[in-house]
Amino acid sequence: MLERQDPVLYAEDRYGVALRPTQIENYLRNGFLVVENLFNDEEVKLLNDELNRLRTEHKSGKAESTIREPDSDIVRSIFRVHKQSGLFHRLACDTRLVDVARYLLDDEVYLHQTRLNYKPAYFGKEFYWHSDFETWHAEDGMPRMRALSVSISLTDNTEHNGPLMLIPGSHQSFVSCAGETPDNHFRQSLRRQEYGVPDPASLRRLVESGGIQSVRGSAGSAVFFDCNTMHGSNSNITPLPRTNAFLVYNSVSNQLVTPFAAKKARPGFLAERKECSPIVAVSGRLRASHVT
């Protein structure tokens, strides 16, 4: 476990202050920030209709970017979703998201990764504890902790249906995971993670220091979290599905290089290497005309 070397907040106000002072304090202290009702009911309905269309479309497909549950053929995640849907591309370019990312990272940003996470009723399996940066650094070649994620709730996240859990303050420590990453590890890890996860002793230390916070909120809320914040989620055995859109913004000054601890880089649908131009942010509400 190593002390963080990079800033948490890079902002020098070049892009204007996109957050309130209390929100900035929470992000600095905890490594994440929850924003309620960022998207309204009409926008959430559009996004849900589209994610259901995509799930049906991918149900019987064999695309590598479609990940299924470890013990069944139920769709678990769909990656590079901004390339498969005009609506989710528009979502990824929305000023409500991009302005926050540019402010916190103090740079123009591009999409390192996008996906839809389906945690269906009764059968949605857990996502084990992990720091995204550990994988992105080791397997993708992300140089510094100058990236963040945003998870947008498209269904209500309750205490029962496997909500996102984060360890406050964990972003200040880098937990180097033991063991060598197997070749093509992503094919297994995206279904059930066994390598690239923290050891129990390190997890215990982080939780004893910061505790655990479950992100519960209505559909349309969002949580922004630092790339090094330790997080995970439990299985969903309730009748209530939990579905989220997951977008990763990386600084254009932090583009990927050769992986630091893997023999070869993961494929582009997991870690963008080619299309790294700054996002052109778009304002206004999501509309049916964005669905293509």
What percent of the chain has a predicted confidence (pLDDT) above 90?
75
* HEC per residue, 6-62: CCCCCCCCCCCCCCCHHHHHHHHHHCEEEECCCCCHHHHHHHHHHHHHHHHHHCCCC
114-155 confidence digits (pLDDT tens): 999 998 889 888 889 999 999 999 999 999 999 999 999 999
Eight-state DSSP code of residue 274: S
Beta bridge partners of 164: 233
pTM: 0.92
Q: Please list, in sequence order, all residues whose beta carbon lies within 8 angstroms of the beta carbon of residue 76, skipping any fewer than 6 positions away.
A: 67, 68, 69, 117, 118, 124, 125, 190, 191
Mean predicted confidence (pLDDT) in 55-65: 81
At 110 the three-state DSSP class reads strand
Q: Please list, in sequence order, all residues whose beta carbon lies within 8 angstroms of the beta carbon of residue 262, skipping any fewer than 6 positions away.
A: 138, 139, 181, 185
Determine contact, residues 63/199, Cβ cutoff 8 Å.
no
- Residue-wise DSSP of 232-252: EE--B-SSS-EEEEEEEEEEG
Mean predicted confidence (pLDDT) in 235-241: 93
Eight-state DSSP code of residue 281: -
174-221 confidence digits (pLDDT tens): 998 876 665 655 545 444 445 568 899 999 999 999 999 999 989 999
**Do β-strands 66-68 and 147-153 pair in parallel, antiparallel, or remain unpaired?**
unpaired
- H/E stretch holding 75 reads strand 75-79
* HEC per residue, 130-155: ECHHHHHHHHHCCCCCCEEEEEEECC
Tokens standing for residue 162: 């496997």
Question: What's the confidence (pLDDT) of residue 57?
Answer: 86
3-57 confidence digits (pLDDT tens): 999 999 997 777 777 899 999 999 999 999 999 999 999 999 999 999 999 988 8
At 166 the three-state DSSP class reads strand
- In the CATH scheme, what is the code of domain 2-58+80-281? 2.60.120.620
Spatial separation of the C-alpha atoms in residues 192 and 196, rounded to whole Å: 11
Q: Please list, in sequence order, all residues whose beta carbon lies within 8 angstroms of the beta carbon of residue 21, skipping any fewer than 6 positions away.
A: none
Q: How far is CA 282 from the centre of its chain?
A: 21
Spatial separation of the C-alpha atoms in residues 290 and 292, rounded to whole Å: 6
